[in-house]
């Protein structure tokens, strides 16, 4: 696979997904301030499939992610996420595929303020180079990030605002050192078991060439099969050139 094409495919895999690996609200890209509670756990399994038509090529990216959250206190979670990525590119009759585990992330979410309907949280994270760099599934170095989150609830509505920053410590010739993210989301509780949701996000393109930002819009739902078991389904539409054209999102979250 040519280096430039491969880099574009890798950017597709991670475009708009820096926060997505550890978000509490899949299929949204926007974080919320919710935590598990002291002594509580959550295991989340998600599957994202995205498609992008590039110049003479069709790129298909699949991400299967496992996220484990532990409630240390009522307001503090520790989160571990490990994604498995599969990137396929077809150019004419030629198809190239790279697959394997990508970089693990360890993060914490601290809800430091809560009064009435309004709450604020911080989520620092650290990406660890556990993936195969030769396959393009790893940054090859530690990647720190920090996200600030606001949630406002007014039953049956909930609104989330999310700002993030990721630092690329060792950028390549066509890579940016500072990646910024902003997104806003709204949820509507149809019933005790069903929530409808949507968000809009924008993130600085990790590559210096091309459009400066990757914008996306998500619509989805979460259905609670039981109070501790959720199923989610969503669709993400790319709004700018670096983002995938389409993505289909599914997930399952078990709390115990």
Q: Residue 182 has what pLDDT?
A: 96
> What single string gives the DSSP state of each residue in 168-237?
-SS--TTB-SEEEEEEEEEEEESSSSEEEEEEEEEEE-SBSSS-SEEEEEEEEEEEEEETTEEEEEEEEE
CA 241 to chain centre: 18
The shares of helix, strand and coil residues in the chain, as percent rounded to the nearest 5, are 5, 60, 30
Q: Residue 62 has what pLDDT?
A: 93
Q: Residue 226 has what pLDDT?
A: 96
Length of the chain: 256
DSSP state of 25: T
Write the pLDDT tens digit of every residue in 218-237. Answer: 999 999 999 999 999 999 99
Q: Grade residue 156 by pLDDT with cuts at 50, 70 and 90.
A: very high
Write the pLDDT tens digit of every residue in 87-111. Answer: 888 887 788 888 999 999 999 999 9
The domain 3-255 is classified under which CATH number: 2.102.10.10, 3.30.40.10, 2.40.160.40, 1.10.274.10?
A: 2.40.160.40
Q: What is the mean pLDDT of residues 18-36?
A: 74
- Helix ranges (DSSP H) in the chain: 3-14
Q: Grade residue 58 by pLDDT with cuts at 50, 70 and 90.
A: confident
Q: What is the mean pLDDT of residues 123-143?
A: 89
* pTM (2 d.p.): 0.87
C-alpha separations of 133 from 2, 99, 128, 137 in Å:
15, 11, 12, 5
Q: Grade residue 209 by pLDDT with cuts at 50, 70 and 90.
A: confident
């Amino acid at each position: 696979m040519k280096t430039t094409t491969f880099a574009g495919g890798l950017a597709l895999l991670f475009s708009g997904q820096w926060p997505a690996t550890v978000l509490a609200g899949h299929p949204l890209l926007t974080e919320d301030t919710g935590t598990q509670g002291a002594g509580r756990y959550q295991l989340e399994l998600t599957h994202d499939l995205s498609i992008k038509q590039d110049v003479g090529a069709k790129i298909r990216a699949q991400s299967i992610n496992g996220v484990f959250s532990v409630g240390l206190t009522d307001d503090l979670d520790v989160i571990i996420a490990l994604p498995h990525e599969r990137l396929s590119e077809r150019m004419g009759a030629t198809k190239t595929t790279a697959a394997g585990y990508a970089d693990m992330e360890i993060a914490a979410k601290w809800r430091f303020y809560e009064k009435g309907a309004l709450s604020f949280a911080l989520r620092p994270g650290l990406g660890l180079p556990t993936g195969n760099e030769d396959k393009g599934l790893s940054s090859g170095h530690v990647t720190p990030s920090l996200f600030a989150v606001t949630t406002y609830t007014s039953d049956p509505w909930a609104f989330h605002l999310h700002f993030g920053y990721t630092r690329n410590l060792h950028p390549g010739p066509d890579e940016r050192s500072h990646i910024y993210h902003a997104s806003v989301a709204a949820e509507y509780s149809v019933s005790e078991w069903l929530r409808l949701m949507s968000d809009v996000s924008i993130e600085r393109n990790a590559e210096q060439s091309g459009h400066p930002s990757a914008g996306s819009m998500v619509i989805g739902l979460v259905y609670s099969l039981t109070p501790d078991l959720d199923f989610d389904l969503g669709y993400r539409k790319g709004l700018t050139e670096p983002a995938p054209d389409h993505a289909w999102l599914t997930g399952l979250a078990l709390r115990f």
